[in-house]
Amino acid sequence: MREITYRQALNEALKEEIERDQTVFLAGEDIAIYGGAYGVTADLWHKYGDDRIKDTPISESAIIGIGIGAAMTGMRPVVEIMYIDFISLGLEQISNQAAKIRYMFGGKSRMPLTIRTEGGAGRSLGAHHSQSLEAWLLHVPGLKVVMPATPYDAKGLLKTSIRDDNPVVFIEHKMLYNTKGPVPEEEYTIPLGAADVKKEGKDVTIITYSRMLIFSLEAAKILEKEGINAEVIDLRTLSPLDMDTITKSIKKTNKVIIVEEDTKTSGTGAELGMKIMEECFDHLDAPVKRIAGADVPMPKSSVLEKLAIPQVDDIVRGAKGIIL
């Protein structure tokens, strides 16, 4: 199978959906002429023009507002928030409007809005451009939260997100855009709410998503050499959450490590760990372990930045600690 980058996979998904559905259009800062801060929308403006690809003013509130209005009136907008760090400026409209309109209008209005954004650390961009804020969004009922880690998943999940009649926050990772992976040329989609076992194992379950999947798989390779056979689950979508896959794995391994880049306190892992406790208590052989980001604003220094988010070694050490 051909190999393309995460960036190209996303670009293909957008292209295919724009061609497939006349109501699909993109809006965001610098996405048209410039092709997007990370180049995901490269060449789309040249191909499809102003009607389909719109540059917006620097106003996250306006971008989300345009998306909500268009979605309510029959369009299928894909809007981009350049950095998830800026999403707070549009959060009022996301949480109080996008997430609730379909419910409050008794289902009479649809909200086929996709909000593309990217997050995560790794480029030494400092505290305003490196955060992982998925837990904020997970706390809002009515939102779907998708966080792909591979080019294949990125393309398949973006297509499904665009076609979904509910608001989806699609969070990419800035350190994944250049990663390559197999992506078929033919059409495919991936359902939301289906986790993927990226590596099978029997000794410990590593639950992760987004860039931490790459780290977890590397850690699993090292652990393999030391005789520890880790199973690595890529959640792919945090909401809806695939508890079936998680439960099945825990019944086999009895031990769980959650690897997440976001800050530990009240993070995604806190919710996951609690759900596991509620649903898999009798199958646990050790307390659920979290390997998470430090509870600090992301440092600008690349040395400190590495210390603030989980590294491969941390996962290896964590797994050994839980296996003993």
Partner 1 sequence: MTKEVIMPKLGETMEEGYIVKWTKNEGDYIKKGEVLFEVMSDKTNFEIESLHNGYLRKILYPPSENAIPVTTVIAYITDKPDEDVKEKSQTIEKETKEITGEIISTESTVIKEPIKDERIKASPVARRLAEEMGIPLSIIHGTGEEGRIEKKDVLAYSETLKSQEKNQQYEVIPWTPFRKIIAEKLTFSKQNIPHYYLSSRFLMDNVTKEKEKKSKEKKITYTDFLIFWTAKTIKDFPLLNASIVNNQIRLYKTIDIGLAIGIEDGLIVPVIRDAENKTIEEISSLREGIINKARDKTLSHEDMGEARFIVSNLGMFGVKNFSAIISPPGVAIMAVGAIEKEPVVKDGNIAVAETMWVTLSLDHRIIDGTYGGKFLQTLKKRFESLKF
A 10 A CB-CB count for 311 gives 14
Q: Which stretch binds partner 1 (CB under 8 A): 113-121, 125-133, 182-190, 276-284?
A: 276-284
By CB under 8 A, how many residues form the interface with partner 1?
Answer: 8
A 10 A CB-CB count for 317 gives 13
User: Contacting partner 1 (CB under 8 A), which of 254, 271, 275, 320?
Assistant: 254
Q: How far apart, in whole angstroms, are the C-alpha atoms of residue 70 and residue 25?
A: 10
DSSP 175: T
Q: How far apart, in whole angstroms, are the C-alpha atoms of residue 172 and residue 179?
A: 12
Write down the catalytic residue from 17, 80, 118, 129.
129
CB of residue 120 to partner 1, shortest distance in Å: 31
Residue with tokens 């609690």: 274
Write down the catalytic residue from 17, 60, 118, 260.
60
Tell me the backbone φ, ψ of residue 259, rounded to 5 degrees: -115, 120
CB of residue 317 to partner 1, shortest distance in Å: 14
> With respect to partner 1, which residue has the nearer C-beta, 51 or 282?
282
> Are β-strands 114-119 and 76-81 bridged in parallel, bridged antiparallel, or unpaired?
parallel
Strand (E) or helix (H) holding 44: helix 44-48
Residue 324 found at the interface with partner 1 (CB under 8 A): yes
User: Contacting partner 1 (CB under 8 A), which of 185, 186, 278, 282?
Assistant: 282
Residue 42 found at the interface with partner 1 (CB under 8 A): no
Residues 283-322 that bind partner 1 (CB under 8 A): 283-286
What is the contact surface with partner 1 in residues (CB under 8 A)?
Answer: 254, 281-286, 324
Q: Which of the residues are catalytic? A: 60, 129
